[in-house]
Amino acid sequence: MSDLKDVLECGVQSEFWRWFCARVDEEWGATGKRYLAELDRALNLTDNDAAASQARQIRSGQKAILALLRLPQDELRKCGPSEPDTPDRRPAPEPELAGMSRRGVGL
């Protein structure tokens, strides 16, 4: 699992990944050229049912493309927190939430 995590961490921090995500966003993001052009083309159909159907398909395609861009980060979250660089360094413990009773916090 740590091999996959290392690969994913290196990948999402690479210049290529930043470049690639920017290009995809330019084409298929909320204001992407290709996304808006395809949506306009679909909405210009004279048959309203066909226009609505095609617009839904284009939106579904956009969602799938953007989900693929999130995949490396989603997989990293599944791998868990990063391991410390040295054995002496341990992550800070999660703060415990105190229970509250009628008498006050933690009582």
Residues 41-66 have pLDDT tens digits of 999 999 999 999 999 999 999 999 99
pLDDT at res. 100: 42
pTM of the model: 0.67
pLDDT at res. 107: 43
pLDDT at res. 84: 56
Average the pLDDT over 1-28 and give the result.
91
Burial of 16-43, coded b for 16+ CB within 10 Å and e otherwise, reads: eeeeebeebbeebbeebeebeebbeebe
For a pLDDT cut of 70, what percent of the chain falls above it?
Answer: 75
Q: Which residues contact 57 (CB under 8 A, 6 or more apart)?
A: 42
Q: What is the DSSP letter of 101?
A: E
Average the pLDDT over 69-80 and give the result.
90
